[in-house]
């Protein structure tokens, strides 16, 4: 009580302390997220040349894009597609503004006419595009306040229409822009002549190569200072994005041996009849088992994760792991349980027949209104189509010779009309089920009307090949899944490992428990997938958070079921690559530079023969070397060496040249000048075509590289 009295007496003091603590907490959060404190761009996905890409608009576009890309796409893929589009739009907009490129009213009307002239909603009674209809349609969209209206085969609202208009205008501006670019990149006759000379003027050479490999790496010392200096001198080659290296241990929720044994026992329990007390009737009922039931379809559908499939199967169509056993089982017999493709199965052979492996038929397809693939001009009702099909069947049964004539008159199956309605020998899987059931289960010469999703088929079986036994199999399938006990055990195991990391090093703790650690290096801030774990934006976002440091670890749920305990192993900041990371590629280049100096210091002699003798190397010949493809036979691409050779007169010998693969001394043995052409226009045309075809990609890439782009996507995705 004394303590409580003291607290009451100092309540004002306590309130002040709590208030200060809360204020400190808020300030800490604000300083951690300086954008919130200083009014930064929390709603800006990116800024391109001073133009902001708004988060709300961007997210709406991403949602639309994901809908367009379909169910197999991810939000990250949709986001990347929209981001590229928005960046391009912003970059090109600044170009259009600088050049005064715009789309005016009359031009916009023409563009809309070109894009929408075929839409009935925008046509007059004569079927011609009508500007008044367009104006009326747009005004109607505006009045719908966000609701959609039909346009052709799709629905569109006012905002989508505005976006479509903007895209059409943007496309026109881009075409005009690139037309001007292409007009300025055409090759001149002078450039064509130079290109011709580079390709056709050649030199025959003698040369000696002292390769860098002639000096062993152990003789060349490369220090960290050398690597750092080299990186600084070649910054453009060693600029890197921010990356993270992680390591993870995966704890999968996988069915245990006990789970599988229990699943097999559950299946076996379905086989025999069992007595079960009925609470309603207060009697003991006999529940018929799978081995004795006559209603196999209902039994399977009530007890299986996969519905009953009422088809006859050849041996080759049965599950591979059990094909021999099932095919050899008599009607009424049961095989299993057996494991197949992630399921435990119990299969009962319920019927057998003789089926051909392929069938040849001819048919006439009578479509009706609403049938799949029916043409727009089909107005026949389903009852009228059935009556017509029955009439055609009567005619062809009485007079088979009329079949081809009736195919031409009535059949809508364009794939077979030109062939008299025939389909040559084909397997049971080629046609839709009602069609294939008839052609494979009936006899040669049978004619009947069969209804499918395409309409009514009048089918005649012309021939069948290689009949063999086929069986109808009822299969109860249960998916192999971990039990609650196994799931709980997996969670416990992952949690214990995570707790152990509070006292033990990550690798040591994993090794002690025989867990495999899987490294993943070079993860970028906007990556989506982690090899071995699939789509894992949550892990990647955590790895790049300001509060996450090297050595930090965390447990994550994974989509496939289970957990991953992840540790950040390395964090690389955006900028120049660090010495350790760069050493793998830099070492060879620095060594070659040092080797070149060592080789140059050891070269004596003024001719190729002297240098070759001095260095203990053989001299080589290279014929018809040209500047357009600066390659030396026996040495590969060596543009510096070939360039130096073209600066020599016939008989001239070069000084030592440091090339890509070694140090060279070259002697020009013959100068072969190119014969001038009377006209270089054909070459100029070829060069112009190559340049203009590549201009759009190269120009945009150049504009993007010089643009000021601030990418904030990692804040939102």
547-566 pLDDT, tens digit each = 999 999 999 999 889 999 99
The class level of CATH for 358-465 reads alpha beta
pLDDT at 25 over 70: no
> Domain 243-254+482-573, CATH 3.10.50 — does that match?
yes
Strand partners, 347: 335, 475
pLDDT at 154: 81
The confidence score (pLDDT) of residue 375 equals 85
Q: Rg for the chain (alpha carbons), in Å?
A: 39
For residues 333 and 328, what is the distance between their CA atoms, to the nearest angstrom? 10
DSSP class of residue 217 equals: G
Q: With 60 as the cut, is the pLDDT of residue 150 above it?
A: yes
- Exposed, middle or buried: residue 256 (CB in 10 Å: 0-12, 13-18, 19+)? middle
What is the reported pLDDT for 415?
85
User: How confident is the model over 128-156, as a mean pLDDT?
Assistant: 88
pLDDT, tens digit (0-9, with 9 covering 90-100), for 87-97: 999 999 889 98
Q: Is the dihedral of CA 40, 46, 48, 51 positive or negative?
A: negative
Q: State whether CATH 3.40.720 applies to domain 202-220+582-672.
A: no
Query: Is the confidence at residue 1, as pLDDT, over 90?
Result: no
When comparing pLDDT for 31 and 115, which is higher?
115
In the chain, count of helices (H) and strands (E)?
24, 29
Report whether pLDDT(492) > 50. yes
627-659 pLDDT, tens digit each: 999 999 989 999 999 999 999 999 999 999 999
Strand partners, 423: 361
Flag whether pLDDT at 28 surpasses 50: no
Contact 653, 606 (CB under 8 A): yes
Cα angle, residue 107 at apex, residues 106 and 113 outer, rounded to 5°: 90
pLDDT at 41: 55
Q: Would you state the pLDDT for residue 505?
A: 95
Helix intervals (H) in 33-157: 34-38, 55-69, 75-99, 105-116, 131-143
On whether the CB atoms of residues 449 and 458 are closer than 8 A, the answer is yes
Asked if the domains 243-254+482-573 and 358-465 are classified in one and the same CATH topology, the answer is yes
Task: Tell me how far apart the alpha carbons of residues 138 and 162 are, in angstroms, rounded to a whole number.
Answer: 9
* CA separation for the pair 662, 26 (Å, rounded): 63
Q: What is the 3-state secondary structure (H, E, C) of 577-627?
A: CCHHHHHHHHHHHHHHHHHHHHHHHHCCCCCHHHHHHHHCCCEEEEEEEEC
pLDDT band at 146 (very low <50, low <70, confident <90, very high): confident
**Rounded mean pLDDT, 370-398:** 91
Percent residues over pLDDT 90 in the chain = 62
Sequence-ordered list of residues with C-beta below 8 angstroms from that of 699, at least 6 positions apart, any chain:
178, 181
The stretch 167-174 carries a mean pLDDT of 90
| Whole-Å CA distances, 490 to 39, 496, 589 | 45, 10, 49
Q: How far apart are CA 170 and CA 186, in angstroms?
A: 25
* pLDDT of the residue at 11: 46
The 10s digit of each residue's pLDDT in 258-314 is 999 999 999 999 999 888 877 777 788 888 999 999 999 999 999 999 999 988 888
Q: pLDDT band for 36, please (50, 70, 90 cuts).
A: very low
Calculate the average pLDDT of the chain. Answer: 89
User: What mean pLDDT do residues 371-380 have?
Assistant: 86
pLDDT of residue 77: 86
- Write phi, then psi, for 85 (nearest 5 degrees): -65, -45
Residue ranges covered by each domain of the chain: 2-38, 105-183, 202-220+582-672, 243-254+482-573, 258-354, 358-465
**pTM as predicted:** 0.65
Both structure tokens of 430:
């080629």
Cis peptide before 272, with omega less than 30 degrees from 0?
A: no
Q: What is the pLDDT of residues 658-681, one digit of tens each?
A: 999 999 999 999 999 999 999 999
**pLDDT of 538 higher than 50:** yes
Q: Would the pLDDT of 38 be above 80? A: no
* pLDDT for 610: 94
How is residue 509 written in tokens?
């703790």
* 57-71 tens-digit pLDDT: 888 888 888 887 888
Structure confidence by residue, pLDDT tens digits, 275-291: 887 777 778 888 899 99
Axis-axis angle for helices 75-99, 681-706 (nearest 10): 110
pLDDT bucket at 21, cuts 50 / 70 / 90: very low
Comparing 259 with 696, the larger pLDDT belongs to 259
């Amino acid at each position: 009580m004394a303590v409580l009295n003291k607290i009451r007496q100092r309540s004002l003091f306590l309130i002040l302390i709590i208030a200060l603590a809360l204020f400190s907490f808020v300030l800490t959060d604000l300083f951690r997220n300086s954008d919130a404190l200083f009014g930064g761009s929390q709603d800006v996905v990116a800024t391109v040349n001073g133009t902001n890409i708004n988060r709300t608009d961007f997210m709406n576009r991403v949602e639309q894009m994901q809908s367009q890309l379909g169910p197999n796409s991810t939000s990250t893929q949709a986001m990347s597609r929209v981001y590229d589009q928005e960046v391009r739009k912003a970059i090109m907009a600044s170009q259009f503004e600088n050049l005064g490129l715009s789309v005016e009213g009359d031009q916009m009307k023409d563009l809309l006419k070109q894009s929408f002239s075929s839409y009935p909603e925008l046509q007059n009674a004569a079927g011609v595009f009508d500007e008044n209809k367009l104006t009326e349609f747009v005004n109607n969209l505006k009045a719908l306040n966000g609701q959609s209206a039909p346009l052709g085969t799709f629905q569109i609202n006012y905002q989508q229409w505005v976006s479509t208009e903007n895209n059409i205008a943007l496309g026109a501006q881009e075409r005009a822009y690139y037309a001007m670019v292409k007009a300025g990149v055409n090759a001149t006759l002078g450039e064509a002549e130079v290109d011709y000379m580079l390709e056709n003027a050649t030199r025959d050479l003698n040369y000696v190569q002292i390769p860098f490999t002639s000096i062993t790496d152990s003789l060349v010392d490369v220090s960290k200072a050398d690597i750092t200096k080299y990186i600084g001198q070649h910054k453009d080659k060693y600029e890197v994005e921010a990356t993270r290296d992680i390591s993870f241990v995966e704890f999968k929720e996988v069915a245990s041996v006990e789970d599988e044994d229990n699943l097999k026992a559950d299946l076996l329990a379905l086989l025999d009849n069992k007595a079960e007390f009925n609470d309603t009737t207060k009697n003991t009922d006999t529940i018929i088992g799978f081995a004795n039931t006559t209603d196999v379809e209902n039994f399977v559908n009530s007890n299986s994760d996969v519905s009953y499939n009422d088809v006859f199967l050849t041996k080759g169509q049965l599950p591979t792991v059990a094909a021999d056993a099932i095919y050899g089982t008599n009607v009424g017999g049961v095989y299993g349980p057996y494991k197949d493709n992630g399921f435990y199965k119990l299969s009962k052979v319920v019927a057998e027949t003789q089926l051909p492996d392929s069938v040849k038929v001819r048919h006439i397809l009578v479509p009706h209104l609403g049938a799949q693939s029916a043409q727009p001009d089909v107005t026949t009702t389903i009852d009228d189509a059935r009556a017509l099909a029955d009439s055609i069947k009567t005619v062809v049964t009485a007079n088979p010779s009329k079949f081809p004539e009736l195919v031409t008159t009535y059949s809508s199956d364009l794939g077979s009309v030109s062939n008299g309605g025939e389909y040559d020998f084909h397997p049971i899987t080629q046609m839709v089920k009602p069609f294939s059931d008839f052609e494979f289960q009936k006899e040669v010469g049978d004619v009947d009307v069969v209804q499918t999703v395409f309409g009514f088929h009048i089918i005649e079986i012309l021939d069948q090949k290689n009949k063999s036994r086929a069986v109808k199999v009822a299969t109860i399938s249960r998916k192999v899944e971990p039990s609650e006990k196994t799931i709980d055990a997996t969670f416990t195991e992952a949690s214990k490992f995570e707790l152990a990391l509070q006292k033990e090093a990550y690798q040591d703790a994993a090794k002690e428990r025989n867990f495999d650690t899987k490294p993943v290096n070079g993860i970028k801030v906007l990556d989506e997938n982690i090899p071995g774990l699939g789509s894992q934006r949550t892990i990647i976002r955590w790895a790049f958070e300001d509060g996450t440091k090297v050595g930090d670890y965390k447990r994550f749920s994974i989509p496939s079921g289970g957990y991953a305990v992840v540790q950040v192993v390395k964090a690389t900041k955006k900028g120049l690559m660090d010495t350790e990371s760069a050493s793998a590629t830099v070492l060879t280049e620095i060594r070659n530079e040092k080797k070149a100096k060592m080789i140059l210091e050891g070269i004596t002699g003024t001719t190729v023969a002297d240098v070759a003798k001095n260095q203990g190397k053989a001299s080589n010949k290279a014929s018809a070397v040209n500047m357009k493809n600066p390659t030396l036979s026996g040495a590969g691409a060596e543009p510096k060496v070939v360039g130096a050779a073209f600066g020599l007169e016939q008989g001239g010998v070069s000084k030592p040249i440091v090339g890509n693969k070694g140090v060279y001394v070259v002697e020009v043995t013959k100068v072969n000048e190119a014969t001038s052409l009377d006209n270089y226009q054909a070459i100029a045309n070829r060069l112009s075509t190559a340049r203009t075809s590549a201009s759009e990609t190269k120009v945009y890439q150049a504009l993007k590289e010089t643009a000021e782009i601030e990418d904030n996507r990692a804040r939102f995705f």
